């Protein structure tokens, strides 16, 4: 119990700093995440953060591992295909909740424990299903590349629901000068179709994912060779 008028504020910890960092990036984007703004939201002087994180890079490391911790690891008992499918969907979902993380997930110099765990589980699931070394790396690489790239497109494109996307496409179509329409007829054709029927990210993502998994399935003869 403190006697003074100001409420006793709970002490800072690395976890609280990282949590607040994730919340700030979620709401304001990566550009809105500054040490100074973060400190203000936590009710402390900027300098105080540096006792709990070494610097901004260290903060980002922690934030990225929070995202990895939200990803559902592959469950080998479902069989490799369904396990890969669900974990890819779960990764995309995490990236939709935290779009700022898309460019940061890979390539951390100091991968966190959740990151290591996820990749180990991925390798373990595929190796356990009989995939060879190289094939395991190929499959992981292709699936993750697809999810990252899709998340990048999704994050970056302006519309959410199919309806919104249809309206956006329709507006764009109206605003297109006829001279441009002539130069890019196929683009216009597709834009018109999207304006009519909307663009469903969910279906788009799953179609590509299943297409890749089909491709992986066809690697079977090479399993042992991997």
Partner DNA sequence: ACCTGAACACCGTTCAAGT
Footprint of a copy of itself (CB under 8 A): 102-103, 106-107, 109, 116-117, 119-121, 123-124, 127, 133-134, 136-138, 141-142, 144-150, 152-153, 155-158, 180, 183-187, 189-190, 193-194, 199, 204, 207-208, 211-212, 214-216, 218-219
Does position 47 interact with DNA (CB under 7 A)? The reply is yes
In the list a copy of itself, DNA, none, the entry touching 221 (Cβ below 5 to 8 angstroms by class) is none
**Residue 142 near which of DNA, a copy of itself, none (CB within 5-8 Å, type-dependent):** a copy of itself
CA 19 to chain centroid: 17
Nearer to DNA, 44 or 69 (CB): 44
The binder of DNA chosen from 55, 141, 153, 161 (CB under 7 A): 55
With tokens 């990048």, the residue in question is 152
SS3 105: coil
**Shortest distance in whole angstroms from residue 148 CB to DNA:** 24
Own/partner pairs for 38-47, CB < 8 Å, 24+ apart? 42/12, 42/16, 42/17, 43/9, 44/12
Q: CA dist 141 to 29, 69, 104, 108, 119, Å?
A: 27, 20, 16, 16, 11
> Is residue 126 within 8 Å of 216, Cβ to Cβ?
no
- Residue of 106, 13, 29, 91 lying closest to 61 (CA atoms): 106
222 binds, options a copy of itself, DNA, none, Cβ within 5 to 8 A by partner type: none
Question: Contact positions toward DNA, by CB under 7 A?
Answer: 33-37, 44-48, 50-51, 55-57
């Amino acid at each position: 119990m403190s006697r003074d008028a100001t409420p006793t504020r709970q002490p800072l910890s690395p976890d609280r700093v990282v949590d607040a960092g994730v919340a700030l990036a979620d709401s304001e984007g990566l550009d809105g995440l500054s040490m100074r703004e973060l400190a203000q939201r936590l009710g402390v002087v900027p300098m105080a953060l540096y006792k709990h994180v070494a610097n901004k890079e260290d903060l980002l490391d922690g934030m990225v591992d929070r995202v990895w911790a939200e990803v559902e690891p592959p469950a080998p008992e479902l069989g490799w295909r369904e396990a890969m499918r669900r974990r890819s969907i779960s990764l995309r979902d995490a990236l939709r909740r935290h779009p700022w993380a898309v460019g940061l997930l890979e390539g951390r110099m100091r991968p966190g424990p959740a990151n290591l765990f996820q990749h180990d589980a991925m390798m373990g699931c595929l190796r356990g299903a009989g995939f060879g070394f190289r094939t395991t790396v190929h499959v992981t690489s292709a699936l993750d590349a697809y999810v990252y790239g899709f998340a990048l497109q999704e994050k970056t494109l302006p519309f959410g629901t199919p309806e919104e996307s249809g309206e956006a496409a329709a507006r764009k179509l109206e605003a297109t000068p006829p001279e441009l329409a002539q130069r890019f007829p196929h683009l216009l054709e597709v834009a018109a179709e999207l304006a009519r029927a909307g663009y469903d990210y969910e279906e788009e993502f799953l179609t590509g994912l299943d297409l890749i998994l089909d491709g992986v399935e066809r690697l079977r003869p090479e399993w042992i060779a991997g």
